[in-house]
């Protein structure tokens, strides 16, 4: 079994390798290798569906290395929780990363809806916006903020809420955190630099 800390360091180092390749002739893809008969992914990634944020490339990992769940706005709904539970129990993966990113369209749409509600939104899109809304509604209170600053704060608030939901919204995951060494961290990928900033639930340096 790969420990959460070992998996965490592997992802951080992988991202550094990825960033170091930016601007070179390399496309940043991890080398293809023969797939093993079974799975032992070192991390579960709950990320956004945004095509600019493929977790395997961002973390410079190969086939079979990550169990990736992608949904617009990296929201946490029952199916996502169930997927995380499945991977944590079936494959003994001990690191979960909620991976959001800068300039998230789902977060932007939520802020727009809160500021200026519209009726044309489909029920399915509304289900995404409604899950992001609790994380960001408080940011609209108090003095007005610059739109860019507001969106940046909202992205992080949404990541924190999703990570917290995984830590406290599932009896299975709570037990694995308490007694099984499971770790849930929140991170933001910068579309501008390629850097992943782990900022929520990060383990203290040894």
Domains of the chain: 4-23+39-200 (3.40.1050.10)
The residue-averaged pLDDT of 72-76 equals 97
Cα dist from 67 to 11, 48, 94, 136, 165, whole Å: 13, 14, 11, 28, 19
What is the distance between the alpha carbons of residues 166 and 160, in angstroms, rounded to a whole number? 10
pLDDT confidence tier of residue 36, bands split at 50, 70 and 90: low
pLDDT confidence tier of residue 20, bands split at 50, 70 and 90: confident
pLDDT at 2 over 60: yes
Residue 96 sits at φ, ψ, to 5 deg, of -115, 130
Cα dist from 165 to 28, 53, 74, 174, whole Å: 32, 22, 12, 10
pLDDT at 75 over 90: yes
What is the distance between the alpha carbons of residues 203 and 144, in angstroms, rounded to a whole number? 34
């Amino acid at each position: 079994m790969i420990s959460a800390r070992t998996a965490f360091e592997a992802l951080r180092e992988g991202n550094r390798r990825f960033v170091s390749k930016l601007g070179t002739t390399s496309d940043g893809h991890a080398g293809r290798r023969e797939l093993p008969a079974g799975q032992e992914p070192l991390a579960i990634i709950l990320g956004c569906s945004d095509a600019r944020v493929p977790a395997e490339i961002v973390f410079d990992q190969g086939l079979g290395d990550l169990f990736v769940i992608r949904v617009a706005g990296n929201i946490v709904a029952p199916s996502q929780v169930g997927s995380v539970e499945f991977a944590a129990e079936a494959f003994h993966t001990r690191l979960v990363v909620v991976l959001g990113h800068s300039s998230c369209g789902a977060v932007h749409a939520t802020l727009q809806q809160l500021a200026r509600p519209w009726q044309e939104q489909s029920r399915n899109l509304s289900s995404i916006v409604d899950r992001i809304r609790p994380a960001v509604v408080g940011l609209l209170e108090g003095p007005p903020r610059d739109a860019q600053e507001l969106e940046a704060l909202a992205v992080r608030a949404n990541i924190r809420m999703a990570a917290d939901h995984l830590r406290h919204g599932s009896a299975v995951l709570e037990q694995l955190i308490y007694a099984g060494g499971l770790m849930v961290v929140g991170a933001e990928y910068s579309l501008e630099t390629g850097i992943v900033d782990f900022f929520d639930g990060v383990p203290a340096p040894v």
